[in-house]
């Protein structure tokens, strides 16, 4: 892959995103896909997906189980499912490899294949080109965007979920492991929308609340006409500024849209919000991007 130019970096600062085609090789993409197949083959359905609904109290326990499972996933490899793929006993209604929505949030730390990709020399070089001094990896996700059921992701900014002070310290690396097209749910962006701050934050709810997180503020209504689609080929990388507005549509096609994505924070002079759902743990402090 060709080295990133100063011009491209300027474009990133102007638009809030940058498309780098063929950043990763087909072999690297295939190694991630075969590794995830192994992980899914060994996957156990989490207990909170298995309980049969009956009483209101059990529903609350189920919701609490889901929220704990999510909140404590920052330093683990955990499974999140598409809607309607499990019956009330937690049995799969469709093949299990087609049921998973995403796997998160610490593949970069605990899986050798994803760790190697996250810290690959070309990613580190890109970080240096972008002027990152002390970048740390805060989370990673494998997203399946399953055929026909891969749900839409409404317009959002990553900093809503990963808040820092000051803003502007979060950067997403989004790697297409298959071609991402308008049919199978590629990303759409509002160019230049990363300069207006954020209007909404997802914060940990007070203990004892019925939900684990809550939203403060609201997402403005965006005009569909403002969005530009960014189809990208297998192996392509999209750099995503933490405050740029982006979305993806439902996957209405017969092909999946697998992606590996991770977020990096410039830790120098930055405070990670104690209210973020994701918190570093003694088991997994945020690892340095640079090795």
Residue 81 main-chain phi, psi, to 5 deg: -110, 155
| pLDDT given for residue 184 in this prediction | 97
User: Is pLDDT larger for residue 206 or for residue 180?
Assistant: 180
List, for residues 147-172, the tens digit of each pLDDT value: 998 889 999 999 999 999 999 999 99
Q: Which tens digit of pLDDT belongs to each residue from 255-282?
A: 999 999 999 999 999 999 999 999 999 9
42-84 pLDDT, tens digit per residue, is 998 888 887 766 677 777 777 778 888 999 999 999 999 988 8
pLDDT digits (tens, 9 = 90+) for 28-41: 999 999 999 999 99
What pLDDT score does 212 carry?
85
Domains of the chain: 6-272 (2.60.120.620)
Residue 108: is its pLDDT beyond 70? Answer: yes
In angstroms, the Cα distances linking 236 to 16, 33, 58, 198, 276 are 17, 15, 44, 27, 29
Please state the rounded mean pLDDT for residues 170-199: 97
For 195-214, what is each residue's pLDDT tens digit?
A: 999 999 999 988 777 778 89
Closest residue by Cα to residue 81 from 113, 103, 60, 65: 103
């Amino acid at each position: 892959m060709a080295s990133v130019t100063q011009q491209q970096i300027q474009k990133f600062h102007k638009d809030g995103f940058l498309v780098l085609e063929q950043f990763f090789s087909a072999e690297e993409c295939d190694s991630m896909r075969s590794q995830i197949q192994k992980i899914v083959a060994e996957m156990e359905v989490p207990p909170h997906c298995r309980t049969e609904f009956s009483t209101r109290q059990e529903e609350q326990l189920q919701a609490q189980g889901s929220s704990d499972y999510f909140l404590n996933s920052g330093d683990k490899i955990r499974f999140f499912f598409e809607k309607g793929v499990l019956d009330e006993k937690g049995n799969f209604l469709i093949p299990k490899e087609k049921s998973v929505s995403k796997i998160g949030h610490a593949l970069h730390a605990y899986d050798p294949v994803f760790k190697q990709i996250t810290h690959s020399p070309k990613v580190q070089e890109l970080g240096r080109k972008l002027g990152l001094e002390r970048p740390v990896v805060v989370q990673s996700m494998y997203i399946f965007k399953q055929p026909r059921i891969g749900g839409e992701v409404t317009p959002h900014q990553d900093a809503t979920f990963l808040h820092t002070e000051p803003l502007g310290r979060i950067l997403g690396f989004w790697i297409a492991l298959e071609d991402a097209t308008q049919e199978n749910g590629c990303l759409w962006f509002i160019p230049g929308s990363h300069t207006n701050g954020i209007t909404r934050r997802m914060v940990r709810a007070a203990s004892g609340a019925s939900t684990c997180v809550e939203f403060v503020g609201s997402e403005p209504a965006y005009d569909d006409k403002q969005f530009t689609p960014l189809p990208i080929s297998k192996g392509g990388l999209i750099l995503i500024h933490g405050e740029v507005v982006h979305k993806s549509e439902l996957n209405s096609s017969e092909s999946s849209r697998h992606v590996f994505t991770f977020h990096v924070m410039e830790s120098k002079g930055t405070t990670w919000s104690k209210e973020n759902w994701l918190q570093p743990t003694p088991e997994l402090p945020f690892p340095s991007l640079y090795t």
